[in-house]
A = this chain, B = another copy of it.
Amino acid sequence: MKEGMRYTKQRLAILQQIESSSGHHDAESIYTNIRAKNLNVSRATVYRTLDMLDKNRLIRKLDVGDGRIRYESRKENDHHDHMICLETGDIIEFFDEELERIQDKIAKKHGYKVIRHSHQLFVKPIK
């Protein structure tokens, strides 16, 4: 963490919670899971901490478009995008080198550089 920041049990618990499962966690489930372990946190702290962890690039923020923001670990810091199954709600991760390259090319053509991107495929199983 950066200068002047403190390691509190709440922060560690939140980070652990996210790194525990390599899944896609939302604020409420993080809050509930920590409380279930009889550790004390408030929703306010969860939200504030998630924001701070994201800004410090310790976790990754993920807007699936359903009104609840998800967060995932950056431990295996392989960048990837997501495919969301419209029938089951499953979230599948994917990565494609070419896709990344094309994005940069498009931005450049317009005089911009890509800082980050959000790319989701909403899919259904074949057949």
Residues in chain A within 8 A of chain B (CB atoms): 63, 65, 83, 85-86, 92, 94, 96, 98-99, 102-103, 106-108, 110-126
Contact = CB atoms under 8 A, between A and B. Distances in A.
B123 A120 contact: no
Number of copies: 2
Nearest to A94: B106
Contacts of A112: 83, 85, 92, 121, 123-126
26 contacts: A65-B118, A86-B115, A94-B106, A96-B102, A96-B106, A98-B102, A99-B102, A99-B103, A102-B102, A106-B121, A107-B121, A111-B125, A112-B121, A112-B124, A112-B126, A113-B126, A114-B122, A114-B123, A115-B122, A115-B124, A117-B120, A117-B122, A118-B118, A118-B120, A119-B119, A119-B120
Contacts of A103: 99, 121
A108 B86 CA distance: 15
